[in-house]
Structure 1
Protein backbone atom coordinates (compact mmCIF):
# COMPACT_ATOMS: atom_id res chain seq x y z
CA UNK A 1 0.00 0.00 0.00
CA UNK A 2 1.24 3.50 -0.83
CA UNK A 3 2.63 5.34 2.27
CA UNK A 4 0.33 8.32 1.72
CA UNK A 5 -2.67 5.99 1.66
CA UNK A 6 -1.60 4.45 4.96
CA UNK A 7 -1.22 7.92 6.50
CA UNK A 8 -4.55 8.95 5.02
CA UNK A 9 -6.46 5.96 6.36
CA UNK A 10 -4.88 6.09 9.82
CA UNK A 11 -5.21 9.85 10.31
CA UNK A 12 -8.70 10.31 8.93
CA UNK A 13 -9.91 7.11 10.58
CA UNK A 14 -8.85 8.66 13.89
CA UNK A 15 -10.45 11.99 12.94
CA UNK A 16 -13.70 10.17 12.14
CA UNK A 17 -13.70 8.35 15.48
CA UNK A 18 -13.02 11.61 17.34
CA UNK A 19 -15.77 13.48 15.47
CA UNK A 20 -18.28 10.71 16.20
CA UNK A 21 -17.27 10.56 19.87
CA UNK A 22 -17.65 14.34 20.17
CA UNK A 23 -21.13 14.19 18.62
CA UNK A 24 -22.11 11.50 21.12
CA UNK A 25 -20.67 13.63 23.93
CA UNK A 26 -22.73 16.61 22.73
CA UNK A 27 -25.90 14.51 22.63
CA UNK A 28 -25.23 13.04 26.07
CA UNK A 29 -24.44 16.37 27.74
CA UNK A 30 -27.40 18.05 26.02
CA UNK A 31 -29.70 15.27 27.22
CA UNK A 32 -28.21 15.50 30.71
CA UNK A 33 -28.82 19.27 30.72
CA UNK A 34 -32.50 18.78 29.81
CA UNK A 35 -32.95 16.11 32.49
CA UNK A 36 -31.21 18.16 35.16
CA UNK A 37 -33.15 21.32 34.31
CA UNK A 38 -36.67 19.97 33.79
CA UNK A 39 -36.73 16.76 35.82
CA UNK A 40 -34.34 17.51 38.68
CA UNK A 41 -35.05 21.28 38.64
CA UNK A 42 -31.35 21.93 39.12
CA UNK A 43 -29.69 23.18 35.92
CA UNK A 44 -26.00 22.55 35.54
CA UNK A 45 -23.56 25.33 34.69
CA UNK A 46 -21.17 23.26 32.63
CA UNK A 47 -23.31 21.04 30.39
CA UNK A 48 -24.44 23.70 27.91
CA UNK A 49 -20.87 24.95 27.44
CA UNK A 50 -19.57 21.38 27.10
CA UNK A 51 -22.25 20.62 24.49
CA UNK A 52 -21.35 23.72 22.50
CA UNK A 53 -17.60 22.97 22.64
CA UNK A 54 -18.15 19.35 21.56
CA UNK A 55 -20.32 20.43 18.61
CA UNK A 56 -17.75 23.03 17.50
CA UNK A 57 -14.95 20.44 17.56
CA UNK A 58 -17.12 17.81 15.83
CA UNK A 59 -18.03 20.26 13.05
CA UNK A 60 -14.43 21.32 12.43
CA UNK A 61 -13.26 17.69 12.33
CA UNK A 62 -16.23 16.85 10.11
CA UNK A 63 -15.19 19.59 7.68
CA UNK A 64 -11.83 17.85 7.29
CA UNK A 65 -13.59 14.54 6.63
CA UNK A 66 -15.90 16.18 4.09
CA UNK A 67 -12.94 17.66 2.21
CA UNK A 68 -11.22 14.26 2.27
CA UNK A 69 -14.23 12.59 0.67
CA UNK A 70 -14.81 15.33 -1.89
CA UNK A 71 -18.11 16.51 -0.46
CA UNK A 72 -17.37 20.21 -0.12
CA UNK A 73 -17.10 21.75 -3.56
CA UNK A 74 -19.69 20.89 -6.14
CA UNK A 75 -18.08 21.41 -9.53
CA UNK A 76 -18.80 17.86 -10.66
CA UNK A 77 -20.97 18.95 -13.59
CA UNK A 78 -18.11 20.91 -15.10
CA UNK A 79 -15.55 18.25 -14.17
CA UNK A 80 -17.59 15.55 -15.93
CA UNK A 81 -17.82 17.65 -19.10
CA UNK A 82 -14.07 18.24 -19.27
CA UNK A 83 -11.39 15.72 -20.20
CA UNK A 84 -7.61 15.72 -20.18
CA UNK A 85 -5.75 18.99 -19.62
CA UNK A 86 -8.83 21.21 -19.00
CA UNK A 87 -10.06 18.78 -16.33
CA UNK A 88 -6.64 18.74 -14.63
CA UNK A 89 -6.52 22.54 -14.81
CA UNK A 90 -9.96 22.79 -13.17
CA UNK A 91 -8.85 20.41 -10.39
CA UNK A 92 -5.69 22.49 -9.92
CA UNK A 93 -7.68 25.73 -9.60
CA UNK A 94 -10.23 24.23 -7.19
CA UNK A 95 -7.61 22.52 -5.02
CA UNK A 96 -5.35 25.57 -4.95
CA UNK A 97 -8.27 27.82 -3.98
CA UNK A 98 -9.33 25.42 -1.21
CA UNK A 99 -5.78 25.12 0.09
CA UNK A 100 -5.31 28.89 0.10
CA UNK A 101 -8.53 29.44 2.02
CA UNK A 102 -7.85 26.66 4.52
CA UNK A 103 -4.28 27.79 5.21
CA UNK A 104 -5.58 31.34 5.73
CA UNK A 105 -8.31 30.03 8.06
CA UNK A 106 -5.75 28.00 10.05
CA UNK A 107 -3.49 31.05 10.36
CA UNK A 108 -6.31 33.38 11.50
CA UNK A 109 -7.66 30.67 13.81
CA UNK A 110 -4.24 30.21 15.41
CA UNK A 111 -4.01 33.96 16.01
CA UNK A 112 -7.49 34.00 17.59
CA UNK A 113 -6.62 31.00 19.74
CA UNK A 114 -3.46 32.72 20.98
CA UNK A 115 -5.31 35.97 21.64
CA UNK A 116 -7.94 34.38 23.93
CA UNK A 117 -5.60 32.06 25.82
CA UNK A 118 -6.11 33.84 29.16
CA UNK A 119 -9.93 33.89 28.99
CA UNK A 120 -11.70 31.07 30.77
CA UNK A 121 -15.01 29.39 30.04
CA UNK A 122 -17.65 30.01 32.69
CA UNK A 123 -18.77 26.75 34.21
CA UNK A 124 -15.77 24.71 33.07
CA UNK A 125 -12.92 26.88 34.37
CA UNK A 126 -10.65 26.04 31.44
CA UNK A 127 -9.20 28.35 28.83
CA UNK A 128 -11.54 29.17 25.98
CA UNK A 129 -8.55 28.72 23.69
CA UNK A 130 -9.22 24.95 23.84
CA UNK A 131 -12.50 25.58 22.01
CA UNK A 132 -10.96 28.10 19.60
CA UNK A 133 -8.21 25.58 18.84
CA UNK A 134 -10.81 23.65 16.82
CA UNK A 135 -10.54 26.28 14.06
CA UNK A 136 -6.82 25.96 13.22
CA UNK A 137 -6.78 22.21 13.86
CA UNK A 138 -9.84 21.58 11.67
CA UNK A 139 -8.58 23.89 8.92
CA UNK A 140 -5.11 22.31 8.96
CA UNK A 141 -6.62 18.82 8.79
CA UNK A 142 -8.91 19.94 5.95
CA UNK A 143 -5.91 21.38 4.07
CA UNK A 144 -4.08 18.09 4.57
CA UNK A 145 -7.20 16.27 3.35
CA UNK A 146 -7.25 18.34 0.17
CA UNK A 147 -3.56 17.60 -0.40
CA UNK A 148 -3.95 13.87 0.25
CA UNK A 149 -6.99 13.63 -2.01
CA UNK A 150 -5.06 15.46 -4.70
CA UNK A 151 -1.76 13.57 -4.37
CA UNK A 152 -2.63 9.98 -3.50
CA UNK A 153 -2.88 7.42 -6.26
CA UNK A 154 -6.53 6.79 -6.94
CA UNK A 155 -9.01 4.78 -8.88
CA UNK A 156 -12.14 6.21 -10.44
CA UNK A 157 -14.28 4.96 -7.56
CA UNK A 158 -12.09 6.58 -4.90
CA UNK A 159 -12.29 9.92 -6.74
CA UNK A 160 -16.03 9.78 -7.26
CA UNK A 161 -17.93 12.50 -5.42
CA UNK A 162 -19.97 11.62 -2.37
CA UNK A 163 -23.50 10.70 -3.43
CA UNK A 164 -26.14 13.23 -2.48
CA UNK A 165 -29.31 11.36 -1.55
CA UNK A 166 -31.29 14.61 -1.40
CA UNK A 167 -31.22 15.02 -5.18
Structure 2
Protein backbone atom coordinates (compact mmCIF):
# COMPACT_ATOMS: atom_id res chain seq x y z
CA UNK A 1 0.00 0.00 0.00
CA UNK A 2 2.78 2.42 0.97
CA UNK A 3 4.73 1.75 -2.24
CA UNK A 4 1.58 2.19 -4.32
CA UNK A 5 0.88 5.54 -2.67
CA UNK A 6 4.49 6.67 -3.17
CA UNK A 7 4.28 5.70 -6.83
CA UNK A 8 1.04 7.70 -7.15
CA UNK A 9 2.81 10.63 -5.48
CA UNK A 10 5.77 10.45 -7.89
CA UNK A 11 3.34 10.50 -10.79
CA UNK A 12 1.20 13.37 -9.47
CA UNK A 13 4.16 15.49 -8.38
CA UNK A 14 5.83 15.01 -11.76
CA UNK A 15 2.63 16.10 -13.53
CA UNK A 16 2.27 19.13 -11.24
CA UNK A 17 5.91 20.14 -11.75
CA UNK A 18 5.72 19.78 -15.54
CA UNK A 19 2.55 21.89 -15.58
CA UNK A 20 4.20 24.49 -13.31
CA UNK A 21 7.16 24.71 -15.69
CA UNK A 22 4.77 25.02 -18.61
CA UNK A 23 3.01 27.91 -16.85
CA UNK A 24 6.39 29.63 -16.41
CA UNK A 25 7.04 29.25 -20.14
CA UNK A 26 3.59 30.66 -20.91
CA UNK A 27 4.10 33.64 -18.58
CA UNK A 28 7.55 34.48 -19.93
CA UNK A 29 6.46 34.06 -23.56
CA UNK A 30 3.47 36.32 -23.02
CA UNK A 31 5.75 38.84 -21.31
CA UNK A 32 8.02 38.96 -24.35
CA UNK A 33 4.98 39.18 -26.62
CA UNK A 34 3.63 42.05 -24.54
CA UNK A 35 6.92 43.94 -24.77
CA UNK A 36 7.01 43.52 -28.54
CA UNK A 37 3.40 44.61 -29.05
CA UNK A 38 3.57 47.51 -26.62
CA UNK A 39 6.98 49.05 -27.34
CA UNK A 40 7.81 47.97 -30.88
CA UNK A 41 4.39 47.72 -32.56
CA UNK A 42 2.82 50.31 -30.24
CA UNK A 43 -0.37 48.23 -30.13
CA UNK A 44 -0.56 46.82 -26.58
CA UNK A 45 -2.39 43.55 -26.03
CA UNK A 46 -4.09 44.04 -22.66
CA UNK A 47 -5.20 40.40 -22.50
CA UNK A 48 -1.59 39.30 -22.00
CA UNK A 49 -1.39 40.89 -18.55
CA UNK A 50 -4.35 38.85 -17.38
CA UNK A 51 -2.95 35.61 -18.78
CA UNK A 52 0.48 36.28 -17.27
CA UNK A 53 -1.09 36.74 -13.85
CA UNK A 54 -3.26 33.67 -14.38
CA UNK A 55 -0.30 31.49 -15.39
CA UNK A 56 1.85 32.72 -12.48
CA UNK A 57 -0.91 31.80 -10.02
CA UNK A 58 -1.12 28.32 -11.52
CA UNK A 59 2.69 28.01 -11.56
CA UNK A 60 2.86 28.81 -7.86
CA UNK A 61 0.17 26.39 -6.75
CA UNK A 62 1.46 23.59 -8.99
CA UNK A 63 5.06 24.09 -7.86
CA UNK A 64 4.34 23.85 -4.13
CA UNK A 65 3.84 20.03 -4.12
CA UNK A 66 7.41 19.44 -5.32
CA UNK A 67 8.74 21.62 -2.49
CA UNK A 68 6.65 19.72 0.05
CA UNK A 69 7.90 16.39 -1.32
CA UNK A 70 11.52 17.47 -1.07
CA UNK A 71 11.03 18.53 2.53
CA UNK A 72 11.94 22.09 1.64
CA UNK A 73 8.82 23.87 2.85
CA UNK A 74 9.01 23.66 6.61
CA UNK A 75 12.65 23.73 7.57
CA UNK A 76 13.47 23.35 11.25
CA UNK A 77 17.03 22.08 10.90
CA UNK A 78 18.42 23.48 14.13
CA UNK A 79 15.64 21.93 16.18
CA UNK A 80 15.98 18.61 14.34
CA UNK A 81 19.69 18.46 15.14
CA UNK A 82 19.06 19.15 18.84
CA UNK A 83 16.39 16.48 19.25
CA UNK A 84 16.86 12.73 19.68
CA UNK A 85 15.63 10.55 16.78
CA UNK A 86 12.23 9.95 18.37
CA UNK A 87 11.78 13.68 18.89
CA UNK A 88 12.68 14.33 15.25
CA UNK A 89 9.90 12.02 14.13
CA UNK A 90 7.43 13.83 16.40
CA UNK A 91 8.60 17.17 15.03
CA UNK A 92 8.14 15.89 11.47
CA UNK A 93 4.63 14.67 12.37
CA UNK A 94 3.74 18.07 13.84
CA UNK A 95 5.08 19.87 10.77
CA UNK A 96 3.17 17.51 8.47
CA UNK A 97 -0.05 18.01 10.44
CA UNK A 98 0.34 21.79 10.35
CA UNK A 99 1.00 21.72 6.59
CA UNK A 100 -1.96 19.39 6.04
CA UNK A 101 -4.21 21.70 8.05
CA UNK A 102 -3.11 24.65 5.93
CA UNK A 103 -3.66 22.74 2.68
CA UNK A 104 -7.10 21.59 3.81
CA UNK A 105 -8.02 25.21 4.53
CA UNK A 106 -6.74 26.27 1.11
CA UNK A 107 -8.65 23.41 -0.48
CA UNK A 108 -11.91 24.30 1.29
CA UNK A 109 -11.79 28.06 0.93
CA UNK A 110 -10.13 27.94 -2.48
CA UNK A 111 -12.96 25.86 -3.87
CA UNK A 112 -15.52 28.17 -2.28
CA UNK A 113 -13.73 31.18 -3.76
CA UNK A 114 -13.56 29.52 -7.19
CA UNK A 115 -17.26 28.72 -7.19
CA UNK A 116 -18.08 32.30 -6.21
CA UNK A 117 -15.79 33.52 -9.01
CA UNK A 118 -17.91 31.86 -11.70
CA UNK A 119 -19.91 35.05 -12.09
CA UNK A 120 -16.83 37.30 -12.34
CA UNK A 121 -15.14 37.69 -15.73
CA UNK A 122 -11.50 38.47 -16.39
CA UNK A 123 -10.72 41.97 -17.59
CA UNK A 124 -9.50 41.68 -21.16
CA UNK A 125 -10.80 38.11 -21.48
CA UNK A 126 -14.50 38.40 -20.87
CA UNK A 127 -15.21 34.90 -22.17
CA UNK A 128 -13.30 33.36 -19.23
CA UNK A 129 -14.53 33.52 -15.66
CA UNK A 130 -12.32 33.95 -12.62
CA UNK A 131 -13.22 30.38 -11.66
CA UNK A 132 -10.31 29.19 -13.83
CA UNK A 133 -7.82 31.35 -11.95
CA UNK A 134 -9.15 30.61 -8.47
CA UNK A 135 -9.44 26.85 -8.97
CA UNK A 136 -5.63 26.74 -8.93
CA UNK A 137 -5.83 26.90 -5.12
CA UNK A 138 -7.78 23.67 -4.53
CA UNK A 139 -5.98 21.85 -7.35
CA UNK A 140 -2.58 22.80 -5.90
CA UNK A 141 -3.79 21.87 -2.42
CA UNK A 142 -4.76 18.37 -3.56
CA UNK A 143 -1.36 17.81 -5.15
CA UNK A 144 0.31 19.27 -2.02
CA UNK A 145 -1.60 16.99 0.35
CA UNK A 146 -0.33 13.98 -1.58
CA UNK A 147 3.23 15.35 -1.38
CA UNK A 148 3.00 16.07 2.35
CA UNK A 149 1.76 12.58 3.18
CA UNK A 150 4.41 11.03 0.91
CA UNK A 151 7.17 13.08 2.55
CA UNK A 152 5.99 11.93 5.97
CA UNK A 153 5.91 8.26 4.87
CA UNK A 154 9.23 8.47 3.01
CA UNK A 155 11.11 11.56 4.26
CA UNK A 156 13.43 13.39 1.92
CA UNK A 157 15.48 16.00 3.69
CA UNK A 158 16.67 18.04 0.75
CA UNK A 159 16.24 21.47 2.31
CA UNK A 160 20.01 21.92 2.57
CA UNK A 161 20.49 20.90 -1.06
CA UNK A 162 17.77 23.29 -2.26
CA UNK A 163 18.94 26.28 -0.17
CA UNK A 164 21.99 27.95 -1.63
Q: Provide TM-score, normalisation by structure 1.
A: 0.90
Task: Number of aligned residue pairs: give it.
Answer: 162
Task: Check conservation: 2:24, 2:56, Cα contact below 8 A.
Answer: yes
Whichever structure has more helix as a proportion of its residues is 2
Whichever structure has more strand as a proportion of its residues is 2
Q: Distance in 1 between matches of 2:31 and 2:96?
A: 37
Structure 2, gaps ≥5 residues long: none
1:43 aligns to what SS in structure 2?
coil
Q: Distance in 2 between matches of 1:165 and 1:3?
A: 30
- Compared CA separation, residues 133 and 162, structure 1 to 2 (3 A): farther
After TM superposition, what 4+ stretches of structure 1 lie above 3 angstroms from structure 2? Answer: none
Q: Distance in 2 between matches of 1:133 and 1:148?
A: 23
Structure 1, gaps ≥5 residues long: none
Q: Distance in 1 between matches of 2:162 and 2:83?
A: 21
- Compared CA separation, residues 88 and 165, structure 1 to 2 (3 A): closer
- Aligned mate of 2:161, from 142, 157, 163: 163
Backbone CA RMSD of aligned residues: 1.7
Q: Distance in 2 between matches of 1:160 and 1:62?
A: 16
- 1:21-32 matches, within 5 Å, as 21-32=22-33
Match of 2:130 in 1: 128
